[in-house]
Chain A
């Protein structure tokens, strides 16, 4: 627990991946912090680097695929990047847990659901098999699966997608982590199940007081569920604020463009507004501000083309990285 009551504090995190063409910077000087019992939303398009941030916090990036090249991740008084692998393993699944996008692929098809939940419990809580199974049944009940006694000995392929995701949430929360990272937890599910899962996460948060890092590309989900939202573009955070402020009065042209592109009920215009241009290629990012080729003001501005703006606090609890944002020096 360091200053500002924050549970997790990420400062200047930079992550690189090794691709065939060369080294790609997936996240560059990403900084944010999450308080206890807070839901932090990280939004952005596919490929902007949100998942890399999640994997870096857990240090789950395989050494032959990429590495963390800079920054510091302060969690519960420790810098996660300085821990040994053994110490990190005690945190994974225990203090910090993660839920991924594809529930079907994330469960091992040859073991029962109960086995997979009990595995985590036995690992961290020092229980034996019978106790772990009892706890697993209890977890299934908590995540809202009916008849947990029967479901516990079923295999993943015998469950629906929504139930599988609940099972994964059960695995993740079985050891009562302080932080739950949810990397696009509902993208592979249909709308109704989506709401159910998100409600479940909310409930678990109320019960256990854990924080949630909610990664999504859906602005609506972020607006509804998060207490603070950061928008990522081309491996950088471009704006960070309370969602009510962020979505009612966006300061960064990218956020503005995103919001304008959303179709609204009662909208009479025939054509949707789009952000001109295409997403920057991770290998060939433009100089200066990464968004400038697509920005109405930035594409003509020499300053935007040469110098990259840093994320600065322009109002209390409002951060933006844009030369032309009001109050930005």
Chain B
């Protein structure tokens, strides 16, 4: 099931790059070729041949795919380095940021969701629902910019640094100081990435818990004489966790895509910022590489979520779906 989807990702990315009007070569020659038309045509033909763009489209795809499997995404036009090296530099930063964000999202949503379900209908529940609805509607770029403006700039408070992931003098710090400096820099970006996530996840946890609270096996547990806390945690929560795991499958791509905006606002040298620059500079190789890798990462996350789901729910076997 994975291989066709991976192939499909490459097909889609490749198709987008080729459907577009114009070709990558025109931008190379336009500045020089106005005066000698014949020479322009010759140069153009040669360039096309150089990039393999004169072959039929399916051959182009196979060539590209073959190179991709060897992780050769070509050269970045702007940086003049192999794309894969660029990505390798940036990938760990984005992944760290995303993982920290995911951890925070889960750490906050699970307790709030459980509490909201247990105190269903009362003030806490209603207030949390309204609060999270508001949070969910807040646009990331607005929050990011406001955070920078009010908490990281000279205008208001200067509690956090406005950009980058380390201070300039970072390499002169001891390990713990360096770590603290890193975290201090990542604080605001993490806040930006998490708030939408935990508004969404908390709602789902609450909904699952509410549904499970009215199940018969909860009645059996109470009839055994179990204290209410054991009923909630050992029975309701444990059962609610199972579908919540599958939500990670949709949470990860959302957080990853959010990185683009957050990294741009906070100038964090990660994959998101690379994507932004590549699109702005029309660096096609980088764009295609990033789209493909984003797809692959997403698939890995989905796979992990599937495995976790199979482990958590004994009704699911490894062979197929329930």
Binding site for B on A (CB under 8 A): 58, 60, 64, 89-94, 97-98, 100, 102, 105-111, 119-120, 123-124, 155, 157, 168, 171-172
Contact = CB atoms under 8 A, between A and B. Distances in A.
Nearest to B120: A64
Given A110-B239, A110-B242, A110-B312, A105 B217 contact: yes
Interface in B205-241: 215-217, 219-227, 235, 238-239
B89 interface: no
A108 B225 contact: no
Contacts of B242: 110
12 contacts: A60-B222, A89-B226, A91-B225, A92-B222, A92-B223, A94-B225, A108-B220, A108-B239, A109-B313, A109-B315, A110-B314, A111-B238
B222 A168 contact: no
A100 B314 contact: no
A123 B223 CA distance: 12
A108 B215 CA distance: 9
Contacts of B320: none
B224 A107 contact: no
Nearest to B223: A98
A92 B225 contact: yes
A100 B219 contact: yes
A100 B218 CA distance: 12
A109 B313 CA distance: 8
Contacts of A102: 216
Contact of A155 (B222, B225, B227, B315): B315
B220 A171 contact: yes
Contact of B217 (A107, A120, A124): A107
Contacts of A110: 238-239, 242, 312-314
A109 B225 contact: no
Interface in B295-322: 312-315
What 3 pairs between A and B have smallest CB-CB spacing? A92-B225, A105-B216, A93-B224
A168 B219 CA distance: 12
Given A108-B235, A109-B314, A157-B315, A119 B224 contact: yes
A20 to B, nearest CB: 14
A190 to B, nearest CB: 20
A108 B224 contact: no
Contacts of B4: none
Contacts of A93: 223-226
A124 B121 CA distance: 33
Given A110-B239, A110-B312, A89 B220 contact: no
Contacts of A111: 238
Interface in B234-263: 235, 238-239, 242
Contacts of A97: 223
Contacts of B121: 64
B220 A100 contact: yes
Contact of B216 (A100, A123, A157): A100
B223 A60 contact: yes
Interface in B105-149: 121
Given A108-B235, A108-B239, A110-B313, A92 B219 contact: no
